[in-house]
Structure 1
Amino acid sequence: MELELRHLRTVRAIADAGSLTRAATALGLAQPALSAQLKRIERALGGALFVRGRHGVRATALGELVLERSRIVLPAVTELQQEAARFARAPRTARHLRLGGTHGPLLGALVDRLAGVAPEARMTTCTSWSERELAGQLSDGRLDFALAGTCGSAAPPGAEGLVWREVAVDPVFVMVPGGHPLAGRPEVDLTDLAGEEWACVPGDGCFGDCFTASCARAGFTPRRMYETDTASLVHLVRVGRAVGLCRATFPTTPGIVTRPLTGTPLAWRHLLGWHGAAHLPDLTATVLTEARTAHADVAAGSDSYTAWLSAHPVPYAGGRPG
């Protein structure tokens, strides 16, 4: 067994507690498990580190040596981790942008816009269905910007030091196959879908609860909900297995039509996030502006959304709330 930092922390915990029993409690371990771990550490180091007595444990000469070195090594590693985190969150230039986003067309449109205004920049992307995961990557300095979202007016993903700005607000549309009886309507009442099964992409916000509540107000309980990736969602809709729930910006897809819901019972708020200590103001302003323009470009590519916006210019005109 090779010695690891966690082993040094275990030795320090035993020495600080003065007994295996108290150390096990502090570490959240059973005493037999801690004893077995200590034996493995001692075998790796070549001798006993502690002597047990009636009043607890005391370090052997070898144990004192290990403790003395751990007092140097552990703080140094902690300082290294802190410096690395500060470095990762340091202000960056446009030479390399790490962008994250949930699944959908907006991230690609933003990359396209930024490539146009900063052709020299290198960009990498990361997608996740979890807004919380994206927030964590921003907080850890692994992403520079992230496109996430919330259902309606729900609070954005929480993490200390993060800043979120609204990019746009979309109504939630339904996806049905082109041959569906409701496909020819300009909008669909939720009550007309009471007998359908449903499909949507997963998320860790309140969208599922909000959808269920909207159905309850419409007088029914939704049948089975398939939570799956976008490609599988499209397949389930195309074959008539389910009605899909999507943002209004969902691109036109052969064999499928998207239609607004009467009264707009559900909305999705697109957000751009970054760490408050991590960016130059000019860079942040540029990315936010391009994200809003990218949304407008994507919205313009959807015939059903364009028609809906013409009939509902407020508060969604330009994708921005009034």
Structure 2
Amino acid sequence: MELEVRHLRALCAIADTGSLHRAARTLGVSQPALTTQLRRIENALGAELFSRGRTGCRPTLLGRAVLSRARPLVEGMSALVSDARAEADAARAGGPRLRIGCTASRVIGGWLRRLRLRLPGTDISLRVDVSAHALLRAVDTGRLDVAFVHEVEGCPLAVPEGLEQRVLVDREPQFVSMARDHPAAALPVVDLTDLAADRWMVDPTVDGEWDGLRRVFSAAGVAPAVLHGDYLTAASLVVLGEAVAPCQPTSGPRDDMAIRPLRDDPLGVRLLLVSRPGADTAAVYGELEAAYREAARRVAGYHQWLLRHRSPLLTPTAPAEFPVPADSAESVDRSGSPRHRAESPS
């Protein structure tokens, strides 16, 4: 038996719902049919993927491994179908269109809002993907017009030959999110050694994320426990004090979580806008830059970091455009939520 996308979709549905009955309803099939399908999949792989009990179905160790590989494939197929339909709709409608790809970022909403005002009448579509390489391939093959991606320091992206790049931020520091009552939350700047006893959550499906963090741990001489999972799950674990996680410095304030910069900024990413040769990206890049500045202004801790490092993002008029909150210490203390790149830590 060869596994197909429909089989992987069934596995994801069972894991997401925690029940064969609920998964069958989600997929629009009968429960006996889904049970038979799961049994065939497990027979083909030679082991159980879910443990069945009175409380429902839970992935086994092998099941979690299979799901970590299956989800990107299922999501990729869904994105392919959505993209194809969007392109068909745009072709029928005519008129200008702009197809944007992006790894998860806090600036997406502001960027889209600005582009819709700047380019009225343009059909603007958005595809968010945890994989920068998948977005770059989509630009290279003409399925996207531009892609806003992050490149983890020390893990360069394989940008297809001929694509044009514009650097938005040459090095964006990655901060760390933790529970509000974490001892390190009382510090304005955190050392990696302060978090060596914590479990760190990282999404291995984000290109370069785990390799970059592992490099930083090695350089600092620490070896904390690591949990692999998506950053939506990380948010709930961080709030409960079960983990800490790297996060974007533009992450917005939350009452139940603290975000702090790491001393000496050991973990960084480069932010790029990539497009096909000859594409007119002046308006797209200009609105992206404005949206990024807007996001930075809302987070006192990151805005202060930019000021201290004399960032070129801050123009000569930046003090008026980016006012420092009167109670900056409290603002820094209250800023934070984990980053996702499906919205992701870097």
Q: Is the contact made by 1:237 and 1:256 (CA closer than 8 Å) also made in structure 2?
A: yes
CA distance in structure 2 between the aligned counterparts of 1:101 and 1:154, rounded to whole angstroms: 18
Residues 86-126 of structure 1: CA deviation (Å, up to 9, x unaligned)? x99xxxx9831111101121222211111121232221111
Q: Is the contact made by 2:155 and 2:212 (CA closer than 8 Å) also made in structure 1?
A: no
Q: CA deviation at 1:200?
A: 3.1
Partner of 1:189: 191
Is 1:291 the counterpart of 2:293 in the alignment? no
Partner of 2:303: 306
Larger Rg: 1
Return closer, same or farther for 1:156/1:109 CA change in 2, 3 Å cut-off: farther
Residues 210-242 of structure 1: CA deviation (Å, up to 9, x unaligned)? 2222222222112123331x3222111111111
Secondary structure of the structure 2 residue equivalent to 1:148: strand
Is 1:255 the counterpart of 2:262 in the alignment? no
Return closer, same or farther for 1:299/1:157 CA change in 2, 3 Å cut-off: farther
Partner of 1:208: 210
CA distance in structure 2 between the aligned counterparts of 1:104 and 1:235, rounded to whole angstroms: 19
CA distance in structure 2 between the aligned counterparts of 1:270 and 1:94, rounded to whole angstroms: 30
Q: Is the contact made by 1:101 and 1:134 (CA closer than 8 Å) also made in structure 2?
A: yes
CA distance in structure 1 between the aligned counterparts of 2:252 and 2:158, rounded to whole angstroms: 26
Q: Is the contact made by 2:178 and 2:185 (CA closer than 8 Å) also made in structure 1?
A: yes
Q: CA deviation at 1:203?
A: 4.3
Secondary structure of the structure 2 residue equivalent to 1:182: helix
Q: Is the contact made by 2:146 and 2:273 (CA closer than 8 Å) also made in structure 1?
A: yes
* 1:126 partner amino acid: R
1:220-231 equivalent positions in 2, closer than 5 A: 220-228=222-230, 230-231=231-232
Secondary structure of the structure 1 residue equivalent to 2:185: coil
Return closer, same or farther for 1:141/1:294 CA change in 2, 3 Å cut-off: same
* 1:223 partner amino acid: A
* 1:206 partner amino acid: G
Residues 238-279 of structure 1: CA deviation (Å, up to 9, x unaligned)? 1111101112112223311110000010111111111115x2
User: What is the root-mean-square deviation of aligned Cα atoms in Å?
Assistant: 2.4
Large movers: runs of 4+ above 6 Å: none
CA distance in structure 2 between the aligned counterparts of 1:316 and 1:235, rounded to whole angstroms: 32
User: What TM-score comes out, normalization by structure 1 length?
Assistant: 0.64
Q: CA deviation at 1:154?
A: 4.6
Return closer, same or farther for 1:127/1:214 CA change in 2, 3 Å cut-off: same
* 2:123 partner amino acid: R
Partner of 2:179: 177
1:24-173 equivalent positions in 2, closer than 5 A: 95-152=96-153, 154-168=155-169, 169-173=171-175
CA distance in structure 1 between the aligned counterparts of 2:306 and 2:95, rounded to whole angstroms: 34
Return closer, same or farther for 1:314/1:295 CA change in 2, 3 Å cut-off: closer
Return closer, same or farther for 1:315/1:266 CA change in 2, 3 Å cut-off: farther
User: What TM-score comes out, normalization by structure 2 length?
Assistant: 0.60
CA distance in structure 2 between the aligned counterparts of 1:245 and 1:146, rounded to whole angstroms: 23
CA distance in structure 1 between the aligned counterparts of 2:288 and 2:313, rounded to whole angstroms: 16
What stretches of structure 1 of length at least 5 have no aligned partner? 1-86
CA distance in structure 2 between the aligned counterparts of 1:317 and 1:265, rounded to whole angstroms: 22
Q: Is the contact made by 1:97 and 1:144 (CA closer than 8 Å) also made in structure 2?
A: yes
Residues 45-99 of structure 1: CA deviation (Å, up to 9, x unaligned)? xxxxxxxxxxxxxxxxxxxxxxxxxxxxxxxxxxxxxxxxxx99xxxx9831111
* 1:299 partner amino acid: A
- Overall identity of the aligned pairs, in %: 30
Secondary structure of the structure 1 residue equivalent to 2:242: coil
Q: CA deviation at 1:204?
A: 4.7
* 2:238 partner amino acid: V
Q: Is the contact made by 1:131 and 1:203 (CA closer than 8 Å) also made in structure 2?
A: no
1:14-29 equivalent positions in 2, closer than 5 A: none
Partner of 2:84: none
CA distance in structure 1 between the aligned counterparts of 2:303 and 2:95, rounded to whole angstroms: 33
